[in-house]
């Protein structure tokens, strides 16, 4: 008899450095009070370095197991979509916790479904092009460019008694 379940690939393991970091953060006598490992923007350069390769393997695993429809494919340019990188990281770490109990794994699958909804909202029409390897820069760049820099904003914010700070008086 052929066991068709024997071909199932395991979920990619986080990098050893990240596993060591998680272990160091979770001990009762932890002297380390660093950021959560899924908070990519808060990690040190050393901890961030192995993440792209692991998260790429996570995306490939998710696509291979769950992406039955085109809109379910995480595009190969996921790392160029900063919001997606944060979400994929959180989803990947949540999966490890979710598989400790059957009910938790069902919840993780619901989280994955919500991730797909947010991913498609984020990518919008550009998602179709991204999924076939034709990534373009952020479509909203023209709208974001209208925001003043922090320095410009602080120079024109009204101060006490309606005065404009940083400008001529």
Contact assessment for residue 52 and residue 79, using Cβ atoms and an 8 Å cutoff: yes
Q: How far apart are CA 134 and CA 128, in angstroms?
A: 9
pTM beyond 0.85, yes or no? no
Give 10-residue mean pLDDT values along the chain (169 residues).
Answer: 78 93 77 82 94 97 95 95 94 90 91 96 89 81 75 65 50
Looking at residue 73, its pLDDT comes to 96
Looking at residue 100, its pLDDT comes to 85
Tokens describing residue 81: 């979509």
Looking at residue 141, its pLDDT comes to 66
Show Cβ contacts of residue 64 under 8 Å, excluding neighbours closer than 6 positions: 9
Tokens describing residue 64: 């291979």
Distance, C-alpha 147 to centroid of its chain: 24
Looking at residue 24, its pLDDT comes to 86
Contact assessment for residue 91 and residue 111, using Cβ atoms and an 8 Å cutoff: yes
CA gyration radius, the chain: 21
């Amino acid at each position: 008899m052929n066991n068709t379940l024997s071909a199932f690939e395991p979920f990619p393991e986080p990098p050893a450095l990240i596993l060591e970091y998680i272990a160091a953060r979770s001990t009762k006598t932890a002297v380390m009070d660093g950021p959560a490992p899924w908070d990519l923007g808060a990690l040190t350069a050393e901890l961030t370095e192995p993440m792209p390769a692991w998260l790429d393997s996570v995306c490939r695993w998710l696509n291979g197991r769950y992406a039955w429809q085109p809109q379910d494919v995480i595009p190969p340019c996921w790392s160029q979509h900063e919001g997606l990188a944060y979400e994929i990281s959180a989803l990947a770490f949540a999966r490890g916790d979710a598989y400790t109990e059957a009910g938790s794994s069902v919840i993780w699958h619901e989280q994955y479904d919500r991730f797909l909804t947010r991913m498609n909202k984020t990518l919008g029409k550009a998602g179709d092009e991204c999924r076939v390897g034709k990534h373009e820069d952020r479509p909203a760049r023209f709208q974001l460019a209208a925001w003043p820099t922090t320095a410009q904003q602080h120079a024109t914010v009204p101060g006490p008694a309606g005065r404009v700070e940083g400008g001529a008086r």
